[in-house]
Amino acid sequence: MSSAREAPMNWSGGVAPLGMSWQKLMMWIFIVTDGLLFAGFLASYGFARTGARSWPNQQEVFHLWFISLMTFVLISSSATMATAVAAARVADWKKVGNMVLATVGGGVSFLAMQAYEWGGLIRDGVTLGSNPWNVPAFGNFFFLITGFHGTHVLIGAIVLATLATRVRAGKTTAAGVELAGLYWHFVDLVWVFVFTLFYLI
């Protein structure tokens, strides 16, 4: 019988075996699930791009320096968020508040820049249906993927804004800040892949 050959109870209730609270674990699993959603999009994009006879040269389509600037903003916001989490651990709530606000600022400006980029491309005639280079898949996947990433940034910004107010009111915990931080870093992580796979390659 299996249980007979088994070491005595190897952990007791209440002690998380993975060393993290269920909230944090749940957030991590959610991140994996959501990450696989983007994996699905990016794999499809790989499929479409392999199947496409030609693909627009991103050097000409995008202003890469501008995209790099967006990346810079997002990475910096990620850094400020990490600082906020670290500050929350040592209960430096004033710093937390400022850093979270800075992060929200980063997120909002990223969204603004993305809106500007979309506007520019739409003016150049890039739509879901067609685009100047006759590669519909390009427009399709561009708006789909960046759009979904943008939505995630928006949600993150809203979450962080509420978090900031709660910090001001002193109604939040280090764990809470950490959870919000995890999500925000995930958004940044996704952008790393989108930036490389869609804008550069």
Partner 1 sequence: MESHESQSYGALWKIWGVLLALTAIMVFVDAMGLPRILLLVVLISAMLTKAFFISSQFMDLKHEKLVVGVCVAFSLLFFGAILFALIVPDGVAVLHGGR
Partner 2 sequence: MQHQATAETVVHEKQSFLRRYVFSTDHKTIGIQYYLTGGLMGVLGAFLAGLIRLQLTWPTTQWNFLAKIFPSGMEGGFMKPEFYISLVTMHGTIMIFFFVSLVLVSGFGNYLIPLQVGARDMAFPFLNMLSYWTIVPAILIAAASFFVEGGAAGSGWTAYPPLSAVPSAAPGSGLGQTLWLLAVALFIVSFTMGGLNYVTTVVNLRAKGMSMMRMPLTVWSLLIASIIGLLAFPALTAAAIMLLFDRHLGTSFYLPAGLFIAGKLLPNEGGSPLLWQHLFWFLGHPEVYVLILPALGITFDVLVPFARRPAFGYRMTVYCLMAIAFLSMVVWGHHMFVSGMNPLVGEFFSIGTLLITIPSTIIGVNMIASLWGGKLRLTSAALFAIGTISFFGMGGFGGLFLGNAAADIQLHDTAFVVGHFHFMIGGVTMLAIFSGSYYWFPKMFGRKLSELLGKLHFWMTIVPFYGIFATMHFYGLAGAPRRYYNLSQYAFLEGVRWMPMVITVFAFTMMAGQILFLVNLARSLWNGEKAESNPWESTTLEWSALSPPPHGNWGEKEPVVYRGAYEYGNPDAKEDFVPQTVPT
Provide the binding-site residues for partner 1, judged by CB under 8 A.
Answer: 18-20, 28, 31-32, 35-36, 39-40, 42-44, 46-53, 59, 64-65, 68, 71-72, 75-76, 78-79, 81-83, 85-87, 89-90, 178, 181-182, 185-186, 188-189, 192-193, 195-197, 200-201
Buried b (16+ CB within 10 A) or exposed e, 60-93: ebbeeeebeebbebbebbbbbbbbbbbbbeeeeb
In the chain, the largest separation of any two C-alpha atoms, in whole Å, equals 72
Which residues in 38-97 contact partner 2 (CB under 8 A)? Answer: 39-41, 44, 47-48, 51-52
C-beta of 81 vs 164, nearer to partner 1: 81
Q: Which of 22, 106, 37 is nearest to 72 (CA)?
A: 106
Q: Which amino acid is at 164?
A: A
Which residues in 8-37 contact partner 2 (CB under 8 A)? Answer: 9-14, 16-18, 21-22, 25-26, 29-30, 32-34, 36-37
- Lookup: tokens for 101: 């606000």
C-beta of 21 vs 165, nearer to partner 2: 21
